[in-house]
Structure 1
Amino acid sequence: MAKNVGRNESKRDALLRENERLRLAIKGLTSTRRYTVAAAITKEAVKYGCIGFFGWLSVRELAGKVTKVDAAVDMCTSLAESLKELVPNWFVQIFTVIVLFVSIVLVKRTRSRNKSLITRLAKTTADYERSIDPKRTSSNLGKDGDTNTGDGL
């Protein structure tokens, strides 16, 4: 019986030493993570600080001066006014409806092509996974790549 007590004590001591070793490793990882987060925040602060500073310098330098941008804005304004005189309102409305219709058709065509690509890739991926591991089960994705309704959040 004394042998069992000695073994339990040595196992307990080994577990305590392992626990302490793991605590030190976790402590090292958390301090490393803190430095990584601090470095990332500093990097973003420097990046956006520089953008803001040089934007401010540009505005300060150009304040009150006439530039080519002013001329371009004046040209676009005069172009818009001349279009209002040349083109009737109904034409603009019809043109807007045509552009909207063409946009909707293009979006539907793009979605259809993406869906067919996903279907083809899902089949190829499943075949590849089965070739690597014949016992592999499906991830229960639909044939078209949609998530199983029971898996929703």
Structure 2
Amino acid sequence: MNYFSTSSGVTTLEAQASYYSGNTVVFDGVIKYDTGCCGDWALYYINARGGWDSFLIEGKVKRTDAITRYEYSNASNTKKQYMSEVEPAYEMHTGWLTDSQSEILAHNLIPSVKVYAHNLNENKLFPVVIKDTSVEWKNFKNEKKLVSYTINVVAGDKETRR
């Protein structure tokens, strides 16, 4: 048995493997981890069994801010803005997924009620709410191509500016 240690930027994995070569780790003849993945974001979430899992976002992430402005009118009926709330929303694109990864995402991540986004470049971790209200269970056989997903989240905390 070979021992290995690898850091993917999300977690560090140390285990006893039957085979480790390049970016592939094999346990009992089954490929379990591909350590060659890279991404700038990760989602940490409570899975369907109640445990914590992580999902690396390998595609692009686009931020859009929803801005709510608060105003008042003074005695001369002139409007003045006194505060704005910024609610960041993120459109996250996964990389190409295997059928089993697609099933894990559809069954565990999208319905999760406790999710955190981690910007790995800035090392910022914050709560998010997944806004998607449905999820298609994609697989290679039905799609006739590799599958990926778009996950839409909003930050759990609004930014207040005065």
TM range (shorter): under 0.3
Q: Which has the larger radius of gyration?
A: 1
What TM-score do the two structures reach when normalised by structure 2?
A: 0.19
Higher-RCO chain (CA-CA 8 Å, sequence separation at least 6):
2
What TM-score do the two structures reach when normalised by structure 1?
A: 0.20
Select the structure that is richer in helix. Answer: 1
